[in-house]
Amino acid sequence: MSGMTNAWDYEVDVLVIGTGAGAMVAAVTAAEKGAQTLIVEKGVQYGGSSATCGGGIWIPASHSAKAQGQNDSPEEAFEYIKALTAGTVAEKKIRAYTESARKMAAYIESVTELRFNAIPYTDYHAELPGGKHGYRTHETNTSHASRLSREDFDNLLPSHPSTALFGCIPWTTMEAAPMVTRGPGWITTMARVLWRYFSDVPQRLRSRRSRFLVFGNAIIAYLKLALNRYGGEMWLHSPLVELIRSAEGRVEGAVIKHEGRPVRVRARKGIVLGAGGFERNQAMRNQYLPGEGRPEWSGGQVSNTGDAIKAGIAIGAATDLMEHAWWAPTVKVPSEPRGRPLFYERALPGCIIVNQLGERYMNEARSYDVAGKAMIDADRPDKRTIPSWIVFDATFRKKYPMGPLMPVIPDWLHSREVLGMVKKSGSIAGLARETGMEAEVLADTIARFNDFAREGVDKDFGRGAAAYDRYYGDQNVKPNPNLAPLLKAPFYAVPVYPGDIGTKGGLATDEHARVLDENQRPIPGLYAIGNNSASVMGPAYPGAGSTLGPGMTFGYLAVLDALK
């Protein structure tokens, strides 16, 4: 290896742990500014949960929104997040994000081919002061695997099945919404998406994986191209073992297990921890998170076992928000290592979520973090909600997706494992027997919900009243796009778990992403971003892209501070 010394096995200016979007932005920023940069990845493929996700990025007051005539300001975004976080996050940190996110986006556009396009995707709590009914969530431009080397494409983590049509056919955010909700032009959109996939005959003969890159896959691909161009180095299958802190208190380097042996890497300017949360670590879940939870219910990347958080704690770093996660109701296909989050299915008309007795207990269409946390909060010994059941009828089954169940495709064409998840009966009483629910309770719940659907008002939980609810409603359904009666047999039920798309507690950081010790003093040389750090969003989830936006912004800010 180049850079060898007697004291250290390897020396760089900036060492980045993890390869998600925030970590990659940090590495690209460092490399573009002339710093010798190394980014390391625990897994055998790079991209982390970012590569596999839906790829939305929450950036208030962006140049793209302004170009589309949308009025927004960092101050409005600050007031919105401040209200949602309710004093759990320092105001300086919130301001750093709301004022710097658009600067990060402009910088990344200037040094990479990645582009940020604001889309009309409503904030999750748009009714609050400072909330917006769109144009803070950004979709990025698509890419193609031919832009990458064969090795870089093979080593890029594929998209999560829940982000693709039939689990493997990619679509963009603006294509997915009309297809899922049967919006105007959905048939034409479906035809275009299918043609794009099946017309790539050479790739179809080789693999089910598409070469058309969208969402997180496109983000990571563009950042990898830039990292290569600026001379940044990446090590795969190279986990962090420990951080090395000098007697004076500065974090000078780290031990990385690389090619089967421990390598002492010195970082002259700083180390950026961006290796994800601890959602896949059962012991840490038991210690920190409320309620029951299993790693396999999570949609997070399987490598996210909290290694970097534990390494920070070991050298005296403080933690914050460890009892919080980016909650999301999930369904679990037995053969898949990760849960499938129900991002939009719950809002579609003609389904309900019930506890193990057969009672509704929440507004199913609320944002996934609210719905996932509601599953935990409502769980009681006499009314278990872990797991719950999502119940729907034949009309819903024919029209809409439900996790791995695809509309139009008959039941028998789905895999045996998928069908094994599903309970099905020709009557509500029969469905109750199949699931263990109480027949009379379930029948009363459905009858009451059906009355609400006909009237168009959910008098119990207000489903369909909020702007976010309606975003994934079927606008052809009147009078409420989120409500339709469950009438037509057969009836279906699928178990739903309180999963997540990552944990949001981690190392305490300041407005520069510097890691803080127990006395709230910065630890020199150490930064943390993304789900390695306590989220700037506190316990809240302001809108789609509230994970990637801060991760990328604080990755950028961390390197600016390290190199100054």
Tell me the pLDDT tens digit for each residue of 283-311: 999 999 988 899 999 999 999 999 999 99
What 3-state DSSP class applies to 316?
coil
Asked if residue 174 has pLDDT above 70, the reply is: yes
Tell me the pLDDT tens digit for each residue of 507-546: 999 999 999 999 999 999 999 999 999 999 999 999 999 9
Quote the percentage of the chain above a pLDDT of 70. Answer: 99
Report how far residue 562's alpha carbon sits from residue 527's, in angstroms, rounded to the nearest whole number. Answer: 9
The per-residue pLDDT for 6 is 55
Query: Which amino acid is it at 17?
Result: I
Quote the percentage of the chain above a pLDDT of 90. Answer: 90
Query: Quick one: pLDDT band at residue 3, thresholds 50, 70, 90?
Result: very low
Query: Quick one: pLDDT band at residue 168, thresholds 50, 70, 90?
Result: confident
Q: Where are the alpha helices (DSSP H) in 33-149?
A: 48-52, 63-67, 74-85, 91-111
What 3-state DSSP class applies to 261?
strand
What 3-state DSSP class applies to 524?
strand
Query: Quick one: pLDDT band at residue 314, thresholds 50, 70, 90?
Result: very high
Residues β-bridged to residue 40: 17, 235
Asked if residue 1 has pLDDT above 70, the reply is: no
* Mean pLDDT of the chain, nearest integer: 95
Query: Quick one: pLDDT band at residue 279, thresholds 50, 70, 90?
Result: very high
Asked if residue 500 has pLDDT above 60, the reply is: yes
Asked if residue 2 has pLDDT above 60, the reply is: no
Asked if residue 166 has pLDDT above 50, the reply is: yes
The domains located in the chain, with CATH, are: 343-500 (3.90.700.10)
Tell me the pLDDT tens digit for each residue of 345-403: 999 999 999 999 999 999 999 999 999 999 999 999 999 999 999 999 999 999 999 99
Report how far residue 23's alpha carbon sits from residue 16's, in angstroms, rounded to the nearest whole number. Answer: 6
Asked if residue 256 has pLDDT above 60, the reply is: yes
Tell me the pLDDT tens digit for each residue of 177-195: 788 888 889 889 989 999 9
